């Protein structure tokens, strides 16, 4: 009996000594990998100034370090893992149910890295949130918000953290990935009395002049994007569509512009329009107005009434 107790005590000491050794090796492995990554990033930060490249090195080295730690730990604890295989299987199944959202976010992270629906630096919209992607992590990605209370896709300054799992449940729009241009429209309303044909020719001249440098770049981008996606445009040159609204003749300028320059280019075109129309006497911008129209006085000839001599359409005798 005493011999069995002594043997059990010796085995316990051996197990404790083995566990201490494995624990020490684990700590040394983590420290070694962490120091190696720190040295690599220090050299990279000293030699590279480009923020995007620095960010990619930081993220890439983090993933490599994490994978290397898993490999080293699996080698250190391989015997213990074999004994705990069944337990870990049951534990993993239970955690998958209890931590469903976290698992979904990890799956979304893997999808983002493998399929690249967007990368850091892209401008995207997912659901109601839109912004520039500034970080991608295991459970969420971060957007530097645009829009909201700020007009024309300008930055609000807020950082939005979006769960990765939303890439599976909501539609995702990418402004810049394959084709970094968007179509933009500027409505210009002139009065019915204006020379709208002259106005149309003037506006077309302005939009062609101000967006000429964009069309060439957009054509090259279409050719590059068509190698991966079925993107076809008959023409990328600006155009103007004519229609009629309640207050006047509506001339809608349609042109292509870089996704991040929509507001700046729109401002340039508007300033050129205002300068040009200021010297045009036959063209006036329209705005909501009220007008009293008398069919008896201003209508077609057959609709006008014959008033007695001295009486007008207002019902008053002009001779009194």
Complete domains list, the chain, with CATH: 2-83 (no CATH), 115-174 (2.30.30.60), 181-278 (3.30.70.100)
Q: Is 92 within 8 Å of 98 (Cβ atoms)?
A: no
Strand 123-126 and strand 172-174: the pairing is antiparallel
Give the separation between CA 163 and CA 35, rounded to whole angstroms: 31
pLDDT, tens digit, 9 for 90 and up, residues 63-119: 787 778 777 777 766 665 555 555 556 566 666 676 788 888 999 999 998 888 999
State how far the alpha carbon of 24 is from the alpha carbons of 11, 46, 87, in Å.
Answer: 20, 33, 24
Tell me what pLDDT residue 189 has: 96
Ranges of H-type helices in 48-99:
51-76, 78-83, 85-98
For residue 198 the two structure tokens come to 């002259």
Segments of the chain scoring below 50 in pLDDT: 5, 9-10, 12-13
**Res 9: pLDDT:** 47
Exposed/middle/buried for residue 168 (C-beta within 10 Å: 0-12, 13-18, 19+): exposed
Distant-in-sequence, close-in-space partners of 159: CB < 8 Å, separation ≥ 6: 134, 142, 143, 144, 145
Of 191, 172, 248, 184, residue with least CA distance to 218: 184
Q: In what order do the strands lie in the sheet with 129-136?
A: 155-163, 140-146, 129-136, 123-126, 172-174
Chain CA centroid to CA 15, Å: 55
Please tell me the pTM assigned to this model. 0.65
Instruction: Say what the pLDDT of residue 221 is.
Output: 86
Q: How many other β-carbons are positioned within 10 Å of the β-carbon of residue 320?
A: 5
């Amino acid at each position: 009996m005493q011999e069995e107790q002594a043997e059990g005590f010796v085995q316990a000491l051996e197990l404790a000594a083995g566990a201490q050794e494995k624990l020490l090796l684990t700590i040394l492995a983590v420290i070694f990998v962490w120091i190696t990554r720190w040295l690599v990033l220090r050299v990279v930060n000293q030699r590279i100034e480009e923020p995007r490249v620095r960010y990619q090195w930081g993220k890439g080295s983090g993933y490599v370090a994490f994978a290397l730690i898993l490999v080293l730990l699996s080698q250190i604890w391989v015997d213990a893992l074999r004994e705990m295989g069944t337990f870990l299987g049951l534990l993993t199944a239970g955690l998958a149910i209890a931590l469903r959202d976290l698992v979904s976010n990890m799956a979304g992270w893997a999808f983002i890295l493998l399929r690249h629906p967007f990368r850091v630096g892209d401008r995207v919209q997912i659901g109601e949130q839109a912004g520039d992607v500034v970080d991608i992590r295991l459970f969420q990605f971060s957007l530097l918000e645009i829009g909201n209370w700020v007009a024309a896709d300008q930055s609000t300054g807020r950082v939005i953290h979006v769960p990765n799992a939303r890439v599976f449940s909501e539609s995702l729009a990418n402004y810049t990935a394959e084709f970094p241009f968007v179509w933009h429209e500027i409505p210009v309303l002139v009065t019915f009395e204006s020379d709208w044909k002259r106005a149309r020719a003037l506006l077309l001249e302005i939009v062609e002049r101000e967006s000429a440098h964009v069309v060439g770049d957009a054509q090259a981008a279409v050719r590059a994007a068509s190698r991966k996606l079925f993107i076809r445009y008959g023409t990328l040159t600006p155009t103007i569509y004519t229609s009629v609204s309640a207050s006047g003749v509506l001339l809608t300028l349609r042109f292509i512009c870089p996704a991040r320059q929509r507001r700046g280019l729109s401002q340039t075109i508007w300033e050129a329009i205002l300068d040009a129309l200021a010297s045009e006497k036959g063209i006036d911008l329209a705005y909501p107005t009220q007008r009293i129209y008398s069919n008896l006085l201003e209508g077609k000839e057959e609709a006008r009434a014959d008033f007695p001599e001295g009486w007008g359409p207002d019902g008053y005798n002009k001779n009194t």
